[in-house]
Structures are given as C-alpha cells and as structure tokens.
Amino acid sequence: MDKDLKIKFDFNYMMEDFIGEKGIKHQQINEILHKIVKAQENMEIKRKDGKMDFRELPYNQDEVVEEINKFVEDTKGKIENFVVLGIGGSALGPIAVQQAVNHLYYNELTKEKRNGCPKLYVLDNVDPERIVALLDIIDIEKTMFNVVSKSGGTPETMSQFMIIEKMLLDKVGQEKAKELMVFTTDKEKGNLIKISKQKGYKMFIIPEGVGGRFSQLTPVGLLPAAMCGIDIKEMLKGAATMDEMCKAHDIFENPAYMYAILHYIAMTNGANISVMMPYADSLKYMSDWYAQLWAESTGKKYDTEGEVVNRGQTPAKALGVTDQHSQLQLYTEGPFDKIVVLMGVGEYKKTLDIPKVHEDIDSIAFLGGHTQNELISLEQMATEYALLKSGRMNMTITLPKVCEHTVGQLLYLLEVATVFMCELLEVDSFNQPGVEEGKNAMYAMFGKPGYEEKKNELMARPEKMEKYMI
C-alpha cells in the first residue's frame, strides 16, 4: 500500500487530558475492556461464520468489477445520462462517492470534460415534481436507468421504475428499452429478477448477505461510480487497506474500533449526538451517507437479549467552514451533548491564491498573499481549537487527499466502526424493524392486498382535535 494515502485518525481532543472534565478518561477505556474484548470476539466469530459479508467485498469482486467495467465500456458514448432509481443507502452512497471523486460541477461540464462519461442523476424521492423536472432536462432516449432494489418491492423505487419503463416503451419500444434499463438486485428472490427474465434487462447482483446501507462497495455503488469514470478497483483497494488496519487487535492501532469505543463512552457520558463536519465540499455528502449508516444501525428498541433499551445516537451533518456560521455557536456554547467529528484533507485538488489587493484596508489586507487552501485548513484548526477551549469532545479524520483509494478507506472505516459500535451497544447492526410500521401503514392506505386489517386499525385511530390545530 501507498503509505502516503493512509487515512489518519486523531482523537487527542476526545480525552480529558486535553479538554478537561467533559472529556473521556483513559481509565474509562480500561473499565469497559471486558466489553471491548467481547465485541472484538463477536466481530471475529461473525466474520468467520459468514455473518459479516460486507467485509469480504474488497476481495471477492474481481469478476463483477470486470463485468461492470466491460458494461461501462460497451455503453460509452451511447448515453448522455445515467439515472439511479434507488432510495436510502442505494442513493446516498453513489452521490457521496461521485461528489468526492469527480468535479464539483460534474453534471454541468461538457461531455468532453467528462471524458465522454454520462451525467449522473439520483432520484431518491417520490416527489412528483422530481421526475417531471428531470424529464425537462434530459432526453430519455439517451438515458440509462439503473433500478436498485434488493427485493424489487421497494414501493418508491418500483413506482419510479413503472413510470419510467412505460415512458420508454411508449417512446422507443421494448428492443431499445432493453439497452436503457439495468437492474441491481438480489440473485434469487424478488421482482426485478422476474422482470429481467421476462424483458431481457441487464442485471447486476447484490451479494446476499449485504444489506442496503452496507452496499456501497457492491454493484449498487460500483456501477454508478464506474459509469462516471471512477476507478472502482482502486476504491476496493482502499477498502482492503482499511480492512487490514481494522484487523488490528490492539485497539490503539485500530481506527474503526477506537472510533466506536470513543463514541460509546461519550454516549454513556451524555453525548447522544454525533456531528460529522468535513472541511471539503467534496466530502459533504459523505455525512449524508454516514448519517443513514449510523442512525439505522445504532437506533434500536431492543438489545440483542430482547430487552427494551431504545438505544441509538443521532448523527448530525455539518460542513466546514460553512457551518461555522451556522452550527458552531451551538457546538461550542450549547449543552455538552455531542461529539464533533472533523474531517480534513491534506492536499486539495486545486490551489487558489488570494491576491494582494485592497492593501489600504487592514481588516482584509492580511488575507492577501495567502491561499484559500491555507484559509480552509487554518479555519479547521481554529474550530478544533475553539472546541478544545470550550471543553467539547472532538476528533479528526484526515484524508491525505480525496481520491478513490482514500474514499474506499473511509467508507470501509465507517462501516466497521458502525458495526463495532452496535456490538458495544449490544444491538443488531443489520436490521431495521422500526420502519415496518410506517411501511405497513402506507401499504394499508394504498390498498395493498393483505393489509385490510391494518387499514381498519388506521381508520379507527382517534380523531385529531381542532384545538391542537392552527
């Protein structure tokens, strides 16, 4: 591995040694060592037992990577747009990686500047205005649609598919539509398999044991990335590099374990919020991706013993330096209820000089002769310092630069950290029983067969009171 590309993790300012009484005492780590050891054992056992399939993704996808890259090569130049129809992890991962690696205004570049790659759109909502608006700006005959759903039953994604497929069939017919539709779905079960077989749509497979929010390093994320010219092999290599680091038995050498341990202790100390605050526009949507991972994995009613615990830590998203003018006031002066995870970049992709102008105005003249690079990095340092001075727990993840390799590392780091956090919290990382109630209510109101009783229950709920409405 290229040592210069290794992500760094600095947790000095989580510790009492630096921030004082609201920090974590070294002793607190020792006090939960039994818990940590058990969690480590569980991680290893589950991996061996094939219950942690996402961890094998850096190694077992040579074939599919080749297939994806060939598919991308074959479509090259034939399409103008690549549209992902997906929701949750299936949408947030592709957006995050695209924003991180590619040009910040990728879709507004000319085709030449995109190296002939298609524009990328991700339709992750069922707002009727969204699809209609998209159709105002794209030519569907030159657009490939990637339907992403493990079960092929996700109503949001499938309703989008039904709308788009009908439009395509009406406009270009089945033969041509075959070239413009690609599915990413489960190998054996589900509707998309069936439809793919009926109609002959191309299909990529999501490995069975990998759930939606851990699927960015499967074809769910790899296909859209490769379509936009991103080197997915390198991304997987980055993930493999991080896997090595995450195997370290010494927790002081293991960034994922330590990240989780600190979050766990901080949480027991009262921090029910974890803020992710990257200092780079390119990493902005990593916070969104991470927020779904952390929230849906840690937020559970029952622990693994079946006890009601209502656990979980709420992720919050911020962006440096922008949110220094928005959230930082609260972070430094508000309640001691959060951890701030700063994310920095060693070397930005561009350098931008601030010219020596307006030298007669002292209060801005000092900026001249520096660079925006210095400004953003020093502002990050200044925020870290302000948090330190106000006794607020904060840690920093630094990417030497933002590229496929480091993004692969980062994704994998946060995935392992999330699962380890769930081990410490003693909750199931991989399920999401809490979304069923809402789903069932929606099915009932929509008249899905089999939900008649649920509908009766809904109709029988107490009427709202006028006095509680304005």
Tell me how many degrees the CA angle 254-255-256 measures, rounded to the nearest 5. 95
Using the rule CB under 8 A, give the single segment among 69-77, 139-147, 228-236, 446-454 that binds a second copy: 446-454
Tell me the β-bridge partners of 94: none
Q: Is 146 in the site for a second copy (CB under 8 A)?
A: no
Footprint on residues 202-231 left by a second copy (CB under 8 A): 212-213
34 is catalytic: no
HSE at residue 454, side-chain half, CA atoms within 13 A, is 16
**108 DSSP 8-state letter:** G
* Contact call for residues 238 and 408 (beta carbons, < 8 A): yes
Does residue 189 interact with a second copy by CB under 8 A? no
Q: Does 253 bind a second copy (CB under 8 A)?
A: yes
32 binds a second copy (CB under 8 A): no
Our answer to whether residue 423 is catalytic in this structure is: no
Minimum distance, C-beta of residue 126 to a second copy, in the bound complex (Å)? 5
Euclidean distance between CA atoms 85 and 99, whole angstroms = 18
Q: Does 96 bind a second copy (CB under 8 A)?
A: no
How do 300-302 and 308-311 pair as beta strands? antiparallel
Site for a second copy in 309-338 (CB under 8 A): 310-314, 316-317, 319-338
Q: Which stretch binds a second copy (CB under 8 A): 40-48, 72-80, 225-233, 297-305?
A: 297-305
What residues between 165 and 184 interact with a second copy by CB under 8 A? 165-166
Asked if 171 and 141 touch (Cβ cutoff 8 Å), the reply is: yes
Cα 55 to chain center, whole Å? 16
Find the part of the chain contacting a second copy (CB under 8 A) among 52-60, 63-71, 275-283, 416-424.
Answer: 275-283
CA distance 373 to 185: 42
Q: Tell me if 461 contacts a second copy by CB under 8 A.
A: yes
Which amino acid is residue 275, in one-letter code? V
> Which lies closer to a second copy via its Cβ, residue 53 or residue 384?
384
Largest CA distance in the chain: 76
Residues in contact with a second copy, total (CB under 8 A)?
155
363 binds a second copy (CB under 8 A): yes
Minimum Å gap between C-beta 70 and a second copy is: 29
Q: Which is nearer to a second copy, 45 or 357 (CB)?
A: 357
Nearest to a second copy of 70, 176 (CB atom):
176
- Nearer Cβ to a second copy (239/388): 388
How far from 85 is each of 90, 149, 189, 436, CA to CA, in Å? 9, 9, 19, 21
Q: Which is nearer to a second copy, 50 or 334 (CB)?
A: 334
The minimum distance between CB 231 and a second copy, in angstroms, equals 19
CA atoms of 127 and 134, how far apart (whole Å): 12
Pairing of strands 8-10, 394-399: antiparallel
Q: Helix 155-179 crosses helix 436-446 at what angle (to 10 degrees)?
A: 70
Candidate residues 58, 89, 207, 400; the one interacting with a second copy per rule CB under 8 A: 89
- Of 317, 439, 448, 454, which is the active-site residue? 439
Question: Binding a second copy by CB under 8 A: which of 69, 191, 269, 304?
Answer: 191
Report if residue 16 touches a second copy, rule: CB under 8 A.
no
Residue 62 C-beta: closest distance to a second copy, Å: 29
What is the radius of gyration, based on Cα positions, of the chain? 24
Catalytic residue among 3, 48, 325, 350: 325
The correct pick among 46, 76, 247, 448 for binding a second copy (CB under 8 A) is 448
Q: Does 163 bind a second copy (CB under 8 A)?
A: yes
Candidate residues 60, 115, 125, 268; the one interacting with a second copy per rule CB under 8 A: 125
**Sheet of 181-186, strand order:** 119-123, 81-85, 143-148, 181-186, 202-206
- Cβ atoms of 415 and 89 within 8 Å: the answer is no
Q: Which is nearer to a second copy, 69 or 191 (CB)?
A: 191
Q: By C-alpha distance, which of 227, 279, 275, 311 is closest to 392?
A: 275
CB 223 within 8 A of CB 392: no
Active site residue 175: no
Mind telling me the catalytic residues? 296, 325, 439
